[in-house]
Amino acid sequence: MIETRPLSELALRLVDIQNAYEKLLAPKQTPSDAMAAIGKVKPADLFTQPIKSDDDAAAVLCGIWLLHDALHESHEISQSLLGSTGSFWHAIVHRRRGFFQREVLV
């Protein structure tokens, strides 16, 4: 039979020391105070200078959502970003969601 898991047993044991992998994952729900505070924020609201790159400004907001464990909101932004910046944030969102989980972010 062909092994379908990407990591070896050794790698799985190393990741699971002190439940390290679970500590990386976001909780099931974003704190309500974070949702209320960030909910209507636009990327331009985050800067005191004119924005030179809309994607880079949106990436900052993506990171702020992610900081507060709002995976859905962060995922929506990361998917709209073009190029390596979007790919970077999109990968981090999915890492926080759980590499071994086969769930799709909706």
Q: What does the pLDDT profile of the chain (106 residues) look like in tens digits?
A: 565 666 678 877 776 766 766 777 777 788 899 999 999 999 999 999 999 999 999 999 999 999 888 989 999 999 999 899 999 999 999 888 765 454 444 4
Q: Tell me whether residue 15 is exposed, middle or buried, using C-beta atoms within 10 angstroms of its C-beta: 0 to 12, 13 to 18, 19 or more.
A: middle
**Residue 31 near residue 102, CB atoms below 8 Å:** no
Rounded to two decimals, the pTM is: 0.71
